[in-house]
A and B are shown apart, each in its own frame.
Chain A
Amino acid sequence: MPQKSFETRARELASAFAAKDYERCSHLLPQLKVTLSQLNILVPLLSSDLELLAVARDILEIGALTAIFLRDDLLFSRYIAQLSPFYAMKDKIHPPSSNEKKLIALRLLLLLSKNDIAEFHTELETLEDEADKDVYIRYPVMLERWLMEGSYDKVWKATTQRSEVPAEEFAIFADILVDTIRSEIATCSEKAYPSLPLMNAKHLLFFTEDADLLEFIDQRGWSTKDGRIYFPQESTDPLESGLPMENIIENTLGYARELETIV
């Protein structure tokens, strides 16, 4: 009977996940999803069986967490999308999920690392108050705030020091975030400093090895001389850059056209 093997497989999945055998998890998941849809609980409707819905939700959550550990962004996003109707009905499904906040926080972190700030804020609106109360959700919210302000040192501390990170899944995003911070700092430095000694640059960009720093410098196209980095300067002289003729002509023609229509 599909019911019986479904339960045994669900239990198998749970044990595999607890043992951190993610490959096996990703094997079992597609089959389980097919069974879920056969039992009509893949998409929760008001008519579905409420007990089984809790089981379905747990399975999908394990799927999402597996995707994180396997660093598969698309798969994770897909699981989250499937989970959102479950969360929308959360007062009807018992027991409430312990992983819900964690998964929402992970999704926010994913959006942040991709620099999708509009989506980030849209998701945040649905959460309203919980941002301050829940330790998981507070993490990406504070990160975003610090990034926007520009206090990159706080972001750095939050991502790299283990004491600040609320759960191990978040640490996986650490690499991406560090890269993001570095490129941000680099762009800011280009505009802000006329030149910078190498030692300070290493410190500012949070590098530990000189070799890394030099590689980064090559990547950004800066020039070094006498142990200082020189950033390429933009010419600020407006006459030199020439008048934007096309723009002015286009605008003026537009005005003429509109004025003609005034009888």
Chain B
Amino acid sequence: MPAPESKEPKVDNKDEKMTDADTVQKPKSPEEIAALVLNDIKQNFGFLDKAAGNFEPRFSMRVLRGLGNLRRRLTPDILVSTVDAAYPSPSHKSAALILKYLGKEGSTMEIDESSSDSSTPVVLPEIDIYVLVLLQVYLLDQGDLVKLNSFNDEAITILRGYNRRTLDALAAKMWFYYAYGKELNKQVVELRPLLLAVLRTSTLRHDTETRAMLTTLLLRNYLHTQAISQAHQLVLKADFPEAAATSVVARYLYYVGRIKAIQLDYSAANESLIGAIRKAPQTSYAAGFLQAAHKLKVIIELLMGDIPERSWFREPMYEKALSPYMDLVKAVRIGEVPQFSDTIEKYGAVFKKDGTYMLILRLRQNVIKTGIRMMSLSYSKISLRDICIRLHLDSEESAEYIVAKAIRDGVIEATIDHEKGFMQSKEILDIYSTQEPNMAFHERIKFCISLHNESVKAMRYPMNQHRVELKNVEEAREREKELASEIQEGDMEDDDGDFDGL
């Protein structure tokens, strides 16, 4: 099961240029830093306001992207001041909840005696949920799992009370941390009925973000407990909304790739993984996810019979993580079974932690096939006994059977002469006279076309822009009309003045 580094793949710091520039300079005192963070949070409130008002999901996304940066700078004091800023009075349900979990019940607040429920201004739900998410993240970072769990339960109850489309992206985030908290507390199986119920509700409400996130969470849940057939059924039956945020789509594709790999559908798994790697952000924030995805991709390529490129293993981001896999690739390429078994022994624990151990065991036959292939290419004629010795097989009989199967599978082109006990390779055909080039071209053309189509679909235009244009056009027309009428009037007046200039 991939380790938890895959949780925050979507942080793009380019938007928060102001915060970066501020904190990079001279070291500041804690109060100043706290004030800066508080400013950021208040700015985010402004964004959320706009998002709710104009129904533009862009602002919520922007706020969420800043979450990764913020969480590193959160302290209990900042959170208390946030609660102060967000909620009109600490007796508000969420405010009380947060303060309770921060352990600062009723401390720094001036309790507004005169306020009653009917006169308190209503807190924007987006801001409410955003602050709750901030606390979730804070508790998670503190490593306080039990507190996180109970807080999550109550926070989710608050979330489910709302039913607003603009809340979509934030709700998805909250569900993510909820499920993650439960997973860390080993309450995985109990989570399933709840997730399924919420998936149903969000599908009915056309909540794309929540749907996508929940589907992904369910898949992760099933894979965690090795319930592969159930995961497969979910993939078949539940439509995944392609319009969701790319990070969620990337995660979804990764899980789908894993399921397909287990079910021996290697080419489909490969496609999914390529999609996942492409959609994930290529920055170092997504390192965990990209590493896990690359590991799986290496294994699948080996299982399909291709050798993955060496250039990947050299990249600094992947070098350490992928080094056991590099040894594995070497063993498979050479085609010697004892070396392969040794590599598995040596790195067994690492592979089991990555969840790729069972897949790697399947590679054994690939090793043998590669060995036979090399024999057949290098020797035009070789006795079965020699094959048996070189490939470290058990007996000549097995060697004969194995070679026969390899020929049947199309790995090599050869014939066996049973009486004289040798294998003879056939001559290599001129490959251009077969269908091979045609098919290779077809694959590549298909890929390019699908890439083009996907890019076209992914282009986003800011909403209402065309209306602005229309408005501009209208205004321009009106101005022209005015001008025209002015000229007309002006003409009549100027007529007399013209003769003066003579």
Distance in Å: Cβ of A225 to nearest Cβ of chain B: 16
Q: By the criterion CB–CB under 8 Å, are A248 and B415 in contact?
A: no
Docked pose: A226 CA to B263 CA in angstroms:
47
Which of these binds chain B: A69-77, A142-150, A167-175? A142-150
Distance in Å: Cβ of A253 to nearest Cβ of chain B: 13
Output the nearest chain B residue to A257 by Cβ-Cβ distance. Answer: B449
A194 / chain B contacts, CB cutoff of 8 Å: 415, 417
B401's contact among A126, A150, A255, by CB below 8 Å, is which? A150
Q: By the criterion CB–CB under 8 Å, are B398 and A153 in contact?
A: yes
Docked pose: A190 CA to B408 CA in angstroms:
8
Which of these binds chain A: B23-31, B36-44, B139-147, B430-438? B430-438
B394 / chain A contacts, CB cutoff of 8 Å: 151, 154
Q: By the criterion CB–CB under 8 Å, are A248 and B416 in contact?
A: no
Flag whether B442 is at the interface (Cβ < 8 A).
yes
Docked pose: A200 CA to B397 CA in angstroms:
12
Residue-wise interface mask of A (244-263) relative to B, using a CB-CB cutoff of 8 A (1 in contact, 0 not): 10001001000100100010
Secondary structure call for the A interface: helix
Flag whether B404 is at the interface (Cβ < 8 A).
yes
A255's contact among B263, B419, B445, by CB below 8 Å, is which? B445
B404's contact among A129, A185, A251, by CB below 8 Å, is which? A185
Docked pose: A244 CA to B226 CA in angstroms:
44
B434's contact among A196, A204, A238, by CB below 8 Å, is which? A238
Residue-wise interface mask of B (387-416) relative to A, using a CB-CB cutoff of 8 A (1 in contact, 0 not): 000000111011001111111100000111
Q: A151-B394, A153-B397, A185-B401 are in contact. Are A121 and B263 (CB under 8 A)?
A: yes
Q: A185-B401, A248-B438 are in contact. Are A192 and B449 (CB under 8 A)?
A: no
A105-127 CB contacts (< 8 Å) to partner B: 117-118, 121-122, 124-126
Flag whether B58 is at the interface (Cβ < 8 A).
no
Q: By the criterion CB–CB under 8 Å, are B364 and A145 in contact?
A: yes
Q: A188-B405, A244-B435 are in contact. Are A149 and B416 (CB under 8 A)?
A: no
Distance in Å: Cβ of B309 to nearest Cβ of chain A: 26
Flag whether B262 is at the interface (Cβ < 8 A).
yes
Flag whether B365 is at the interface (Cβ < 8 A).
yes
A190 / chain B contacts, CB cutoff of 8 Å: 408
Output the nearest chain A residue to B446 by Cβ-Cβ distance. Answer: A254
Distance in Å: Cβ of A92 to nearest Cβ of chain B: 12
B407's contact among A191, A200, A262, by CB below 8 Å, is which? A191
Interface centre among A122, A129, A145, A251 (most CB of B within 10 A): A122
A184 / chain B contacts, CB cutoff of 8 Å: 405
Flag whether B229 is at the interface (Cβ < 8 A).
yes
Q: By the criterion CB–CB under 8 Å, are A192 and B415 in contact?
A: yes
Distance in Å: Cβ of A261 to nearest Cβ of chain B: 8
A126 / chain B contacts, CB cutoff of 8 Å: 226-228
Q: A188-B407, A192-B416, A196-B418 are in contact. Are A118 and B263 (CB under 8 A)?
A: yes
Flag whether B3 is at the interface (Cβ < 8 A).
no
Q: A148-B365, A153-B397, A200-B418 are in contact. Are A121 and B434 (CB under 8 A)?
A: no
Output the nearest chain B residue to A255 by Cβ-Cβ distance. Answer: B445
Flag whether A189 is at the interface (Cβ < 8 A).
yes
Q: By the criterion CB–CB under 8 Å, are B398 and A151 in contact?
A: yes
Q: By the criterion CB–CB under 8 Å, are B452 and A262 in contact?
A: yes
Flag whether A187 is at the interface (Cβ < 8 A).
yes
Q: With A121-B264, A188-B404 given, name 4 new contacts (CB 8 A).
A: A149-B365, A153-B395, A244-B435, A258-B449
List residues of chain B with CB under 8 Å of any chain A CB.
226-229, 232, 262-265, 352, 357-358, 362, 364-365, 368, 393-395, 397-398, 401-408, 414-419, 433-435, 438, 442, 445, 449, 452-453
Give me the 7 closest cross-chain CB pairs, A-B, nearest first. A150-B405, A188-B404, A151-B398, A192-B404, A150-B402, A126-B226, A188-B408
A-B contact pairs, 23 of them (CB 8 A): A118-B263, A118-B265, A121-B358, A122-B228, A122-B232, A122-B263, A124-B358, A128-B357, A145-B365, A150-B406, A151-B393, A153-B397, A154-B398, A188-B407, A189-B404, A190-B408, A192-B414, A196-B418, A238-B433, A238-B435, A255-B445, A255-B449, A258-B449
